[in-house]
Amino acid sequence: MNKLINAIIIMALCGLLACHSKTAEKQKLDKPGPASGKAVAKQKQNNKLEHVDLMTFVQYLDDGDYFQLLAKKDGSTSSFINETDSTRNLNRGDQIQVTWKNSTVTIPGDNDAEMPAQLIISIKKTGDGPVTAFRNTYGKKLRYTWSTDEEFTSSYLDKVYLLAEYYLTQTKNPLLQATIKNREELTYSIESRERNGRNYKVIGIAPAGPNGSNVVQWLYVGEEDGRIYEYDLSGDKLVTFD
């Protein structure tokens, strides 16, 4: 009888130990542990969804299918989809901090095809560029005229204004430099010209004098590629302007 009771007790203890072992094993499996290599890689990838960099603002492009912002770093220009910066208060050359993510956008009219795009999440100005400094020190609006047979949209006239303004921050022309230093009025004209089989919009910049304005610098803007050139009078040639 005692042997039978001892056998029953031993069997019960073994059952309890086995149950405890299974419970411990289940808890070990259920307990969160270090992520697998794939999970870690995914987590690192998610951390990289947002990119941040310091760049130089170039211009807004708001006349296409998407609002865009161009910024430059180390001589390379990047294009961003810009739907968050509603103020449009950056000037060319301003230093900015851009936060963006890589995504896609739909191409209108192309069977909803998608293309890679960089979408701005936030943008912060970190320093003034030459245009901002020019506006603060010169403190005058540029005047401009164009031929009556030319038809320019207001958005195009705004682009030309920003171009002329930026050029004046970089010009090496001594007459223009003196005019800016003395805070005298500046004016420019806009016209169309053909040169060597190519079409240009030509900007003639001049100090505004009492007897009219004499152009002291011509800028040529290619109608096909938008490239900007200074006209070198002495060599009768166009010199690329960045």
Q: Answer yes or no: do 158 and 190 share one domain.
A: yes
Q: Answer yes or no: do 174 and 193 share one domain.
A: yes
Q: Answer yes or no: do 185 and 84 share one domain.
A: no
pLDDT digits over 128-180, tens only?
999 999 999 999 999 999 988 888 999 899 999 999 999 999 999 999 999 99
Q: Answer yes or no: do 88 and 101 share one domain.
A: yes
Note whether residue 32 is domain-resident: no
Q: Containing H/E element for 6?
A: helix 2-30
CATH number at residue 94: 2.40.50.140
Q: Answer yes or no: do 66 and 120 share one domain.
A: yes
Q: Answer yes or no: do 123 and 139 share one domain.
A: no
pLDDT averaged over the chain?
Answer: 82
Instruction: Strands of 74-197 (E only): list them.
Output: 76-81, 95-106, 114-127, 143-146, 186-195
- Domain end, chosen from 84, 109, 127, is at 127
Q: Answer yes or no: do 140 and 122 share one domain.
A: no
Q: Answer yes or no: do 96 and 175 share one domain.
A: no
Number of residues that this document lists for the chain: 242
Note whether residue 200 is domain-resident: yes
Residue 64 is given by DSSP the state S
% the chain with pLDDT above 70: 79
Specify whether the CB–CB gap between 146 and 152 falls below 8 A.
Answer: yes
Note whether residue 76 is domain-resident: yes
- Domain end, chosen from 127, 147, 164, is at 127
User: What pLDDT, on the 0 to 100 scale, is given for residue 212?
Assistant: 65
Question: At residue 28, does pLDDT exceed 60?
Answer: no
Q: Answer yes or no: do 235 and 135 share one domain.
A: yes
Q: Would you give the distance in Å from CA 224 to the centre of its chain?
A: 22
Write out the residue range of the structural domain in which residue 205 sits: 131-241
Q: Answer yes or no: do 60 and 122 share one domain.
A: yes
Note whether residue 17 is domain-resident: no
Q: Answer yes or no: do 140 and 226 share one domain.
A: yes
- Domain end, chosen from 84, 112, 127, is at 127
d(CA 196, CA 202): 14
Note whether residue 108 is domain-resident: yes
Residue 36 phi/psi, 5-degree rounding, is -70, 170
Please tell me the pTM assigned to this model.
Answer: 0.72
For the chain, what is the domain count?
Answer: 2
Note whether residue 15 is domain-resident: no
Note whether residue 12 is domain-resident: no
User: What pLDDT, on the 0 to 100 scale, is given for residue 205?
Assistant: 97
User: What pLDDT, on the 0 to 100 scale, is given for residue 65?
Assistant: 85
pLDDT digits over 81-107, tens only?
998 877 889 999 999 999 999 999 888
Residue 111 phi/psi, 5-degree rounding, is 55, 40
Q: Which one is predicted more confidently, 71 or 112?
A: 71
Q: Answer yes or no: do 235 and 148 share one domain.
A: yes
